Amino acid sequence: MAEIDHIVIGAATLEQGAAWVERHLGARPSSGGRHEGAGTHNLLLGLGPRCYLEVIAPDPSQPEPEHPRLFDLDDPALRTQLAAEPRLIAYVARTPALGPLADRLGPRGGEVRAMRRGRLSWRMLLPPQRQDLGNMIPPMIQWDEEPPRLPDSGVRLVSLEAEHPEADALRAALAERGLADQVTVRFSPHPRLLAHLRRADGAEAVLSSD
């Protein structure tokens, strides 16, 4: 069964992203690392046993990657937005059967890419660029080995909502990836991703892509 693996906060720098998350959620992301060859690095915040938050930013210590950076981080418009303030930009879903899913979806499912961070390795099914309905169709991930459990921040992801003018197409894409009950989809003339979280102090927080 597919599940939400993590939500993604884009930032111009990791320090800016960590400070933004701490301001909104009352907990600061820490342990992460470099995505070798992908041109990015990250910080992580545990949201319970099988979910986490990722802060991702371009890694200035790496050369320009062969492929575009994930989550449209090379897009000039998004870079301008992130220079002003970090924000929720995407989410990633976990599947135990990435190969069969890729075979079933065929070319419209996208490209399977192997990735690594330190000793961790995984494969991702990345939707074709500019065909992911604005990052509303998530990359699907399958870990080669179960990653180590992150320290529990006490913050929990309560729900994800996606608003989009092509709501029916988005529902269909999520359903064929096994995510029909993981994301609430609504019609809106303006695309927007919303993550509802509960802080460790019990307060509710909403992170938005706009």
3-state percent breakdown (helix, strand, coil) of the chain, nearest 5: 20, 35, 40
Share of the chain above pLDDT 70, in %: 99
Say whether 23 sits in a helix, a strand or coil: helix
Residue of 34 and 26 predicted with greater confidence: 26
Say whether 209 sits in a helix, a strand or coil: coil
β-pairing, 52-58 with 40-46? antiparallel
Query: What is the pLDDT averaged over residues 106-111?
Result: 89
Show the DSSP H helices in 120-205 as ranges.
167-175
146-184, pLDDT tens digit by residue?
877 889 999 999 999 999 999 999 999 999 999 999 999
Query: What is the pLDDT averaged over residues 78-106?
Result: 94
Band of residue 130 on the pLDDT scale cut at 50, 70, 90: low
38-52, pLDDT tens digit by residue?
899 999 999 998 899
Q: Residue 85: pLDDT above 70?
A: yes
CA–CA distance, 188 with 81 (Å, rounded to integer)? 21
Q: For residue 146, what are the CA distances in angstroms to 50, 52, 141?
A: 10, 13, 12
Q: Residue 19: pLDDT above 90?
A: yes
Band of residue 4 on the pLDDT scale cut at 50, 70, 90: very high
Q: Residue 132: pLDDT above 80?
A: no
Q: Which two tokens stand for residue 148?
A: 């180590």
Q: Is the pTM of this model over 0.85?
A: yes
Q: What domains sit in the chain, N to C, each tagged with a CATH number?
A: 3-208 (3.10.180.10)
Kindly provide the residue ranges of all beta strands, DSSP E only, lying in 73-183, ordered along the sequence: 87-94, 111-117, 120-126, 140-143, 156-164
Q: Residue 80: pLDDT above 90?
A: yes
Band of residue 120 on the pLDDT scale cut at 50, 70, 90: confident
Q: How many residues does the chain have?
A: 210
Share of the chain above pLDDT 90, in %: 74
Band of residue 53 on the pLDDT scale cut at 50, 70, 90: very high
Q: Which two tokens stand for residue 102?
A: 């890729």
CA–CA distance, 100 with 106 (Å, rounded to integer)? 10
